[in-house]
Chain A
Amino acid sequence: MSTAIERFDHKARAVFDQIGQTEVYEGELLRHRVYTRFLHWMVALFFFLALFTGFGIYMPWLFRWFTPIFGGGPLSREMHPWFGLGFVMFFGLQTLNWLKPMKWTAADTRWVRNLAKIVGGKEKHDPPDTGFFNGGQKVQFWEIVGGCVVYLITGIILWMGARTFGRWAVAVSYVLHDISALIMLGGIFIHIYLSTIGEPGTFQAMLRGAVSEGWAWTFHPAWYKEVTGRDPVQACEEARRKTTAK
């Protein structure tokens, strides 16, 4: 089973590397390949399409101004499940693509325990055992996996409606669907913030696919060590000496 997934992912990555390209310059490391970036932006596109059509259904008195973009309230409602399906489908592919790096480890538990220090700006570097993804990224990833399952089950119930699944199934699904959406809405602010202005240098990982070595040894030291074979702390100190020497 897992080998079939691996074969599929391997082939998909190879195909997308032929379609697009990832240029890694001197002093940079390859972070995300074309296939990963493509999936990420398809997920993002369908997430926001589903989010904005969903707003028009969630609270029309507040978000009615979103609906004309999609051709009015009823058409927003009509398209929302299709956007949602797109989101779940592409995120499903991303899940397969990221099954390995998203595996939870003891280092992630330590990372999450250390969260307050990082949020408070007390630590300039992430803990030395932080790998390709840190504990926070993994929490968000698995939250979205769970959220997608909730979306899919409750979404189909809401789509087919009370006359197929019964009144109570719809009444309960509607609450669960909304809660799942609100958790993701809260999460997307944190995700966008950290990947843009919160931790500068991150955004290009998903745009060009490459990050600076400085970014890597700062935020993902264990990953830096794994791909370069050099010690992240020493590498950082070396760079510091160079900048102060100038």
Chain B
Amino acid sequence: MSDRKTLQIKQISGHSGPAAGFGVQREPEVCKLVDTTICIGCKACEVACVEWNDMPFSPTTFDNTYQTMPETRWNFWNLIKFNEHQRGDGTIQWLMRKDQCMHCADPGCLRACPADGAIVQYTNGIVDFQQENCIGCEFCVSGCPYDIPKFNPATKKVYKCTLCSDRVGQGLEPACIKACPTGCLKFGTKDDMKYVAEERAKQLRENFGFENAGVYDPQSIGGTHVVYILHDATDPERYSGLPSSPVIPWSYTVWKWLFKPVLGTFALFGLVGVLLHYVTVGPRRPQPEPPLKTPLPEKES
């Protein structure tokens, strides 16, 4: 067991302050690079994901596109989203985007989660759900800008892509990466992937006529650990609703870390208040009270 690598936790849901041991060791951030320009929609990654994570088979829904099902499910974490985009000149473009957890640097799910330790973020950037601590409140669903966490009514817990944290912890690439036949999926450190992505976008702009080609790594949530190369980075929405500027509802941060403990304490003051009232002022009894045995000492004025 001594040679087993484990991932160092950086952030824990429902838990203020730094995680123990964070920052002790240098750990590079990992990144999955998805080049949408060379995805052929073969869905090998979908199969690899279901296989590796040993997920039960579930019937799919056909909605007249090249998509396996309309959206990801609690037991289907990796879906090639398909959109037939009509360009200004009337020509058609097939857009394939691998939809999965983006492993945000500032994860909305983790911010929204009230349960201690149900969601953790590792130092390498992977955001992972720890189902044993999950209470199934589904606040993470509203915290996520990408609509990724999915509720399983049977276990009453929420599931999503782990970025194969079990494989990455052992020094292996995620299952989807291993299965990709075209080289559309790459895995490495965030710095390396960003470099490769920028080079590829430059190539697309200069040699292939995609003037707006670029890299999707939204800074509104501190960047993501899944990075896309898009033919047109000015309009990510056309890739089946990829948000151009994802946001996390501010109420989660303000309410959870400021008002929840402060106002909770105020509510407890109700208890302290009535106890103090009893001790200092005392109860009000139905009148007339029985006469006092010994008269109260007179107050000095």
Q: Which residue of B lies closest to A172 (CB)?
A: B251
Chain A residues numbered 125-140 whose CB sits less than 8 Å from any CB in chain B: 125
Shortest Cβ distance from residue A58 to the other chain B in the assembled complex, whole angstroms:
7
A171 with B252: CB separation less than 8 A: yes
List, in ascending order, chain B residues with CB within 8 A of A214's CB: 286-288
A186 with B269: CB separation less than 8 A: yes
C-alpha spacing A75/B282, complex, angstroms: 42
B115 with A73: CB separation less than 8 A: yes
Main secondary structure on A side of the interface with B:
helix
B-side interface size class? 35 or more
List, in ascending order, chain B residues with CB within 8 A of A77's CB: 135-137, 156
List, in ascending order, chain A residues with CB within 8 A of B116's CB: 60-61, 64
A118 is an interface residue with CB less than 8 A from chain B: yes
Residues A244 and B135 in contact in the complex (CB < 8 Å), given A77-B156, A182-B267: no
List, in ascending order, chain A residues with CB within 8 A of B281's CB: 119-121
Residues A185 and B267 in contact in the complex (CB < 8 Å), given A76-B135, A167-B249, A198-B277: yes
A38 is an interface residue with CB less than 8 A from chain B: no
Shortest Cβ distance from residue B118 to the other chain A in the assembled complex, whole angstroms:
8
B291 is an interface residue with CB less than 8 A from chain A: yes
Shortest Cβ distance from residue A20 to the other chain B in the assembled complex, whole angstroms:
25
User: Which stretch of A87-95, A99-107, A215-223 is in the interface?
Assistant: A215-223
B278 is an interface residue with CB less than 8 A from chain A: yes
List, in ascending order, chain B residues with CB within 8 A of A162's CB: 138, 141-142
C-alpha spacing A90/B15, complex, angstroms: 36
A86 is an interface residue with CB less than 8 A from chain B: no
A56 with B135: CB separation less than 8 A: yes
Please name 11 further chain A to chain B contacts, defined as beta carbons within 8 Å, in addition to the given A60-B135, A161-B141, A200-B285, sorted by A numbering. A64-B116, A74-B136, A167-B249, A168-B142, A170-B141, A200-B286, A217-B286, A218-B287, A236-B288, A240-B288, A243-B290
Q: List 9 A-B contacts (CB under 8 A).
A: A58-B114, A59-B260, A121-B284, A124-B287, A188-B270, A214-B286, A236-B287, A240-B287, A240-B288
